[in-house]
A and B are shown apart, each in its own frame.
Chain A
Amino acid sequence: MESSDTIKGRFPTLLSDVPSTNKNETVILLNDKSKLKTVVGEIKNHFDILFMLMVVDKPPKVFEMNYVFTNYSKNDILTLRVNIDRNKPSVDSISNLLGSADWEEREVYDMFGISFKGHKDLRRILLPEDWPGRPLRKDFQVTDEVRNWTGLDLKF
């Protein structure tokens, strides 16, 4: 909890508190996505790892990015929340700051189509390159075409 107060103290105009109901968790909202790398650079001084990156699709306007950071020596959890524009989804990559963001960002790109500026190897990770659409977006319909997709051209 102390370390998240320090981080908030460093960027009083950028960060604001969001109430959290989870044990040990602090949620802070970053209101300017262009400052993401600066803030994550500061978080890195207090937290060991990027635990997960959860994206919530909130149509029609917003993709909500939740960067969860944890420590090995302490139990506190920090969730950094950033809202980005759903129509032009793009945000800075933090993969050169934290190695575990590499595959996480590729997965988010794969599932939501959010592009990460500065990522060295941004391509699909779980789905094939020619898969139609971004499955975890709320407007993605699971149709028969999707269910029976094989990736093979089976016309004779």
Chain B
Amino acid sequence: MENENMNKITINIGPVHPSTHGVLKFVVEIDQDTIKKVEPEIGFVHRGVEKMAEMKYFNSFMPIADKLDYISALNWEVLYATTIENALGITVPPRAVYIRTLMCEMQRMMSHLLFLAHVGEDLGNTTLFMWGFRERELLMDLTEEVSGGRLAPMYVSIGGLYYDLPEGFSEKLLSTLSVIESKVKNEYRAMSYENGLFKMRTVGVGIISREQILKYGITGPNIRASGIKRDLRKDEPYLAYDKIDFDVVTEKAGDAYARFMVRVNEILESIRMIRQVIKDMPTGDVKVKVPWIFKIPPKYTFVRQETPRGEAAMYLVTNDDQKPYRLKIRAPSFYTLQAVKELFVGSKVADLVAILGSLDPVPGEIDR
């Protein structure tokens, strides 16, 4: 009896940097080096976003939607704008739809590049960390050129976009894309996905089964790595996704390595999509006029879209007022993170960061 308890130690990992993903905390019970029990603790960056939404005009919530998931801000901007537009019954001009698609895919690439960088950092592969940030910086500069912002661009408005793309933007973007494509295909291959040491740390680690996916409601790249072909961009097309040709990337193994590979291939797929979007870009207006303060009749509006972390959704309840009556936000990471209670058990402490890194959670959207 005493011996059993003597071997078990409870340690706190976090709340500052359990890996490089933000403020999360895990209370982990370990027996020597094996994890026996995990209890994730969240809420360190809770800002009361859903309450704030009820206190603000529809337009004034946009900067907060931006900061929900601070590394895929544009996807959340588009999601929020679409929710309000659907509730109002507004149709956005085709050029705005195409630019939104382009910005969403750019943001997805930035988010996935940051993911590759952070997995590198978690595994002690600092080169990958520097490289991921280097390539992301190219896209960040382009986002800054378009919108003036980097992390929180505030580019999407209700009814379209705040302004059109700057002159000569598509040429710059195309040349940046070919740089990133060659780096991901060549340099990244040598440093990560065909590197023996990298494979040793990730292959067969943290396998997510189909049962766990259904149990916890995991979505996005994490389930595509387990062989479930589900992508809202393909299955329930929104924006201009039904007009461009792309494949849904899947892997079979379901381990940390497969999750890494799905993101690598999604970057290449996004490059393919952006090239088509630039080629087919229509001309015309980028916004319809919507007053700053408006009312929405009593209605339930549900919109879901694919963000880089999975299926995000907003459920808006309006009550003939200038502010939302209730805005429920579904953050995909919130569901993914629940699964660590099962995923970590039985693995080594050193694998904890590899598994957590491969799940790509963002505390900003988990805590809201």
List chain A positions with a Cβ less than 8 A from chain B. 20-25, 27, 48-52, 54-57, 66, 68, 72-73, 75, 77, 79, 98-100, 102-103, 111, 125-128, 135-136, 140, 142
Contacts and interface: CB of A to CB of B under 8 A. Distances in A.
A22 B330 contact: no
Interface stretch (B127-135, B199-207, B212-220, B345-353): B212-220
Given A125-B42, A126-B46, A99 B338 contact: yes
A100 B335 contact: yes
B302 A56 contact: no
Which 8 A-B pairs have CB atoms at the shortest separation, nearest pair first? A99-B215, A100-B217, A49-B217, A54-B328, A126-B43, A52-B330, A22-B302, A126-B46
**B interface: dominant SS:** mixed
A136 B311 CA distance: 24
B325 interface: yes
B301 A21 contact: yes
Contacts of B235: 75
A49 B310 CA distance: 14
Contact of A66 (B216, B315, B325, B335): B315
Contacts of B335: 100, 103
B295 interface: no
B330 A21 contact: no
Interface stretch (B48-56, B102-110, B153-161, B251-259): B48-56
Interface in B207-252: 214-217, 223, 228, 230, 235-236
Contact of B313 (A23, A51, A72, A126): A51
B8 interface: no
B294 interface: no
12 contacts: A23-B236, A24-B236, A52-B328, A56-B326, A73-B230, A77-B302, A79-B302, A99-B217, A126-B46, A127-B43, A136-B54, A142-B55
Interface string B316-344: 01000000011010100011001000000
Interface residues of B, number: 36
Given A51-B311, A99-B215, 19 more contacts: A21-B299, A21-B301, A22-B301, A24-B236, A27-B300, A51-B330, A52-B315, A54-B328, A56-B317, A57-B326, A66-B315, A72-B230, A100-B215, A125-B42, A126-B43, A126-B367, A135-B51, A136-B326, A140-B51
A19 B111 CA distance: 38
Given A21-B299, A98-B215, A136-B50, A68 B315 contact: yes
A68 to B, nearest CB: 7
B95 interface: no
A99 B43 contact: no
Contacts of B326: 54, 56-57, 136
A100 B338 contact: yes
